[in-house]
Amino acid sequence: MQTISAPHVIQFPAWMARGATRQSDTRPASTPNEARRSFAKEAGIFAQGDQAQSYYRVMAGTVRTYRVLSDGRRQIDAFHVPGDIFGIETGGVRSMSADAVEPVTLLQYRNQQLAELATDDPEFVQQVMGAMLQSLERAQAHIMLLGRKSAVEKLATFLLGISDRLSGLGCVDLPMSRIDIADHLGLTIETVSRSLTQLERARYIELPAHRRSIILKNISALRRLDS
């Protein structure tokens, strides 16, 4: 039986909320208080239980954040793509782990620097808030997906979402494996494979041979499944 964890609700510190409004461009501007970090494929960025001293912005590549459940299963919370911010915690301890799905380049910001920037660079903090609000909206939608949708509907929602975030052109180069997708959608890898085949037979998608790309051939039909 599938276990669904309670959503991780983000409660922003009061100093972040002062004068903060949602921005149309939620990608933070560059600041002098950042460090560029690179990680190889499958390298760990931080681990569940670590001290939470930094947060990150993805510049290139894809990052997965996940929890390990008490029975040893992995639940992938999200995939973070260029422009996304991840790693902000309300407490002092990491609630999730983060790994590089593929080679990644990140900008690292120290938590105390964000507190200083609340006064020195409020526009940057507003942009961080906007990015975190988008992440929260995606997390809430993911909880609904886990609890209410069939396997095929979950996969349609995932493909549309990742296409919109990565390209929006109807052809998605998936950096993550089918095991990753299964752990994100609360499915088995066999169910993911069967669902992809079902969508391909219905001519909703095309699966090119020997590639991780997926062509979304009938986006309107996929959106009907998504809704």
Predicted pLDDT of residue 25: 38
Superfamily of domain 14-145: Jelly Rolls (2.60.120.10)
Is pLDDT at 40 greater than 50 in this prediction? yes
Higher pLDDT, 53 or 122: 53
Q: Looking at the domain covering 149-226, what would its CATH class be?
A: mainly alpha
Note the pLDDT tens digit of each residue in 189-209: 999 999 999 999 999 999 988
Which neighbouring-strand residues pair with 107?
A: 36, 57
Predicted pLDDT of residue 41: 97
Is pLDDT at 180 greater than 80 in this prediction? yes
Split at pLDDT 50, 70, 90, the class of 33 is low
Predicted pLDDT of residue 125: 76
Predicted pLDDT of residue 30: 52
Q: Please report, in angstroms and rounded to a whole number, the separation of the first and last CA atoms in the chain.
A: 25
Predicted pLDDT of residue 179: 96
Residue burial 44-66, b: 16+ Cβ < 10 Å; e: rest: ebbeeebebebbbbbeebbbbbb
The stretch 63-88 carries a mean pLDDT of 91
Q: Domains of the chain: which residue ranges?
A: 14-145, 149-226
Specify the pTM: 0.78
Instruction: Report the chain's mean pLDDT, rounded to a whole number.
Output: 81
Predicted pLDDT of residue 7: 40
Is pLDDT at 139 greater than 80 in this prediction? no
Higher pLDDT, 19 or 174: 174
Whether 110 and 54 have beta carbons less than 8 Å apart is answered as: yes
Predicted pLDDT of residue 169: 72
Predicted pLDDT of residue 98: 98
